[in-house]
Amino acid sequence: MKTFFYIIVLIYYNFAFCQLQPTEDKSLMKIKVTDFKNKPLSNERIEFISRNTKKSYIVFTNNNGTCEILLPEGETYDINYRNFIEDKNYSTIYVKNEKGAFTYNLNIKFEPEKIFILRNVYFETGKSTLLPESFPALNTLYEALKAKPTLKIEIAGHTDNVGKYEDNLILSQNRANAVKQYLIAKGIKPDRLIAKGYADTQPIADNETPEGRAMNRRVEIRIIEE
């Protein structure tokens, strides 16, 4: 995953044009998020986590890929972004505590991934029935799709190589369908979702070990249209 990070410090004494204004103890962070072709990334979740207090400050980019947030000064922050359904650590910044009001321009660049393993999704053994332990992960996926209403995804079901290929193909398709139906029931439009089973044709680990087979039994999310 390529990332790029730089920060510019600007000091303003006239903030009439700003929606948010820095204060003596809080700096204004003006953020711009783009991909590596400088395309603005909208509805991106950016999180600042104080290493001292562990408090989290979250902001979302607008259609121009920009946003603003006030951060308490004198603290070091870990910066995370939400890569669709996964939080990724981006960088760290220190917001200094000095006399005066400060504004920082923060430019973040990353290339959004297109394929994700949907972790913590569980089915009954040999069946396509979702277990309740799966609901938090599925709800996270639902929230991500709701936040980006133009996205269309493929829900890809995969199995290990135990049993007949034909049976595994049916099982993988039914499990992908189960995830699709869960999202539809939550309110996602069916035309944004494609469910497809791949059986054991796309392993990501060695099927000769229990650990490898467990990794191969998975559901993947593939972004097919933005």
CB atoms within 10 A of CB 216: 19
**What is the dihedral sign for C-alpha 196, 199, 201, 206?**
positive
Q: What is the pTM of this model?
A: 0.77
β-strands 45-50, 75-83 pairing: antiparallel
Chain centre to alpha carbon of residue 20: 26
Residue 112 has what pLDDT?
A: 84
β-strands 193-197, 102-110 pairing: unpaired
Strand ranges (E), 96-147:
102-110, 115-117
Residue tagged 């950016």 (tokens): 46
Residue 3 has what pLDDT?
A: 53
Report whether 183 contacts 193 (CB < 8 A). Answer: yes
Residue 12 has what pLDDT?
A: 44
Residue 18 has what pLDDT?
A: 47
Mean pLDDT, 10 residues at a time, the chain of 226 residues: 49 51 95 95 94 96 95 97 87 93 94 91 95 96 92 97 96 98 98 98 96 96 93
Which of 141, 142, 91, 149 lies closest to 116 in space, CA to CA? 141
Query: How far, in Å, CA of 198 to CA of 171, rounded?
Result: 9
Which of 146, 117, 123, 152 lies closest to 135 in space, CA to CA? 123
Residue 10 has what pLDDT?
A: 46
Residue 4 has what pLDDT?
A: 53
CB atoms within 10 A of CB 1: 9
The CATH code of domain 115-225 reads 3.30.1330.60
Angle at the Cα of 168 (from 182 to 159), degrees rounded to 5?
70
Residue 147 has what pLDDT?
A: 87
Backbone angles phi, psi at 152, to 5 degrees: -120, 140
Backbone angles phi, psi at 20, to 5 degrees: -105, 150
CATH architecture of 3-110: Sandwich (2.60)
* Same-fold call for 3-110 versus 115-225: no
| Extents of the domains making up the chain | 3-110, 115-225
The number of residues making up the chain comes to 226
H or E element that contains 90: strand 86-95
**Burial readout 18-45 (b: 16 or more C-beta within 10 A, e: otherwise):** eeebbeeebbbbbbbbbeeeeeebbbbb
Residue 106, judged by CB atoms within 10 A of its CB (0-12, 13-18, 19+), counts as: buried
